[in-house]
A = this chain, B = another copy of it.
Amino acid sequence: MKKRVYLDYSATTPMKQEVLNAMLPHFNVQFGNPSSIHCFGRENKAVIDQARQIIAKTINASADEVFFTGGGSESDNWAIKGVVSALKGKGKHIITSKIEHHAVLHTCEFLEKEGFEVTFVDVDEFGIVDLNQLQRSIRPDTILITIMYANNEIGTIQPIKEIGELAKKHNITFHVDAVQAYGNVRIDVQELKIDLLSLSAHKVYGPKGIGLLYIKKGTKIIQLIHGGAQEKRRRAGTENVPAIVGFGKAAELAYQDLEGHVKHLTFLRDKLINGLLEKIPYSRLNGHPTKRLPGNANISIEYIEGEALLLSLDMVGIACSSGSACTSGSLDPSHVLMAIGLSHEVAHGSLRFTIGDFTSEEDVDYVLKELPIIVERLRQMSPLYEKVKGGN
């Protein structure tokens, strides 16, 4: 088989073997519905409570504040729609940023059509939310601030603590999309004064189709999915036992040696970034040089279009992405890259490599060898590059 190097861990991760092993019995042996009172059910009730406790502990929450959902997008939708529905008597203003994930952005845009007002705060050239602007945009009728912990495209980590304090001071509910941050930074919902936090298991070597919403006790929020009495009557649907068990195991593994994980990823990331910037003229790093996810390397390569790069990399077995996976159906340049001030052309020629626990130094070396060749080939074809060379 031809060489395959996966560098798209922010899109999704392979499940760890321990996670799969933990899940397996629950598919066809210990498969009962945890809401059933017979022993097939009871034995699984205990099992999901255990997973709940493990995950709650990793964010310093209590087990009765975390609710399983069908994924990160559902968690974001629930948090935002749930809070503004609960508080619509109190106000109609929401604050978010220009670089949120689409699960937040499109939800906010939908709410605008429903009569809510949304401020999309700017970010600086590194992708850090403008705190002054955020503060100034707070109004008496602001009911929700929703800011992501770390960006999925450029990896920038936000000053969540400062925003949490601001929100607290003004008594505004604070939601944080931590789908990308989880497993890569230590998150303490109490210290950070977070009211709601979204997670998704498949970004941390857990299963797809399972997420979580932390809801701080006392937070006003209505349900997104009505029905049965599961999740303390707040999220209906037969509990996804294998996925919950897998999420619990993935959470345990992620936080049992966070430092080791971060060190491994940061080393490889920096090697990749420095190597690429050195070998490829007219390239630049997107996002913050240090306040960034340990595995994220987002690079703009001028005078080439991103898809041509992606396809060429794919031909030599290297998998990465331009922008986020969920927007790759679209032809518009990334809203995140536009928000940090890139021109259309440069935004179009951007690549996101995301490194994970299974990435080796050879993988990075392979990219450092192949990508410059590809860039050179594509630039030879580019009418834009011609001029640059001519001019120099």
Q: Is the beta-carbon distance between A103 and B313 smaller than 8 angstroms?
A: no
Cβ < 8 Å to B, chain A residues 69-113: 69-74, 76-77, 101-104, 106-107, 109-110
Copies of this chain present in the complex amount to 2
Beta-carbon nearest neighbor of A39 in chain B: B314
Number of residues of chain A lying within 8 A (CB) of chain B: 81
Q: Is the beta-carbon distance between A36 and B208 smaller than 8 angstroms?
A: no
Which residues does chain B contribute within 8 Å of A149, judged by CB atoms?
none
Q: Mark A44-77, 1 if CB is under 8 A from B, else 0.
A: 0000000000000000000000000111111011
Stretch from A234-242, A272-280, A380-388 that touches the partner: A234-242
In the complex, A243 has a CB within 8 A of chain B:
yes
Q: Is the beta-carbon distance between A326 and B209 smaller than 8 angstroms?
A: no
Please judge, given known A-B contacts A33-B12, A329-B229, whether A70 and B209 are in contact too, CB under 8 Å: yes
Q: Is the beta-carbon distance between B36 and A319 smaller than 8 angstroms?
A: yes
Please judge, given known A-B contacts A70-B70, A110-B226, whether A14 and B38 are in contact too, CB under 8 Å: no
Write 18 A-B pairs (CB below 8 A) sorted by A numbering: A6-B40, A8-B38, A8-B40, A11-B238, A15-B31, A35-B325, A36-B319, A37-B311, A70-B209, A71-B237, A73-B228, A73-B238, A102-B227, A103-B237, A110-B223, A228-B324, A229-B329, A236-B326
Which residues does chain B contribute within 8 Å of A223, judged by CB atoms?
110
In the complex, A287 has a CB within 8 A of chain B:
no
Q: Is the beta-carbon distance between B227 and A35 smaller than 8 angstroms?
A: no
Q: Is the beta-carbon distance between A242 and B102 smaller than 8 angstroms?
A: no
In the complex, A328 has a CB within 8 A of chain B:
yes
Cβ < 8 Å to B, chain A residues 244-263: none
Give the complex CA separation of A87 and B276 in angstroms.
Answer: 53
Q: Is the beta-carbon distance between A227 and B76 smaller than 8 angstroms?
A: yes
Q: Is the beta-carbon distance between B38 and A240 smaller than 8 angstroms?
A: no
Q: Is the beta-carbon distance between B39 and A208 smaller than 8 angstroms?
A: no
Task: Please give 15 more A-B residue pairs, beta carbons under 8 A apart, in addition to A71-B237, A72-B238, A77-B226.
Answer: A11-B35, A11-B41, A14-B31, A38-B313, A38-B318, A69-B70, A71-B240, A101-B227, A106-B236, A107-B227, A200-B238, A209-B237, A227-B326, A229-B329, A229-B330
Beta-carbon nearest neighbor of A202 in chain B: B238
Q: Is the beta-carbon distance between B33 and A8 smaller than 8 angstroms?
A: yes
Interface residues of A (CB under 8 A from B): 4, 6, 8, 11-17, 20, 27-29, 31-33, 35-41, 69-74, 76-77, 101-104, 106-107, 109-110, 200, 202, 207-210, 222-230, 233, 236-243, 307, 310-311, 313-314, 317-321, 324-330
Q: Is the beta-carbon distance between B228 and A102 smaller than 8 angstroms?
A: yes
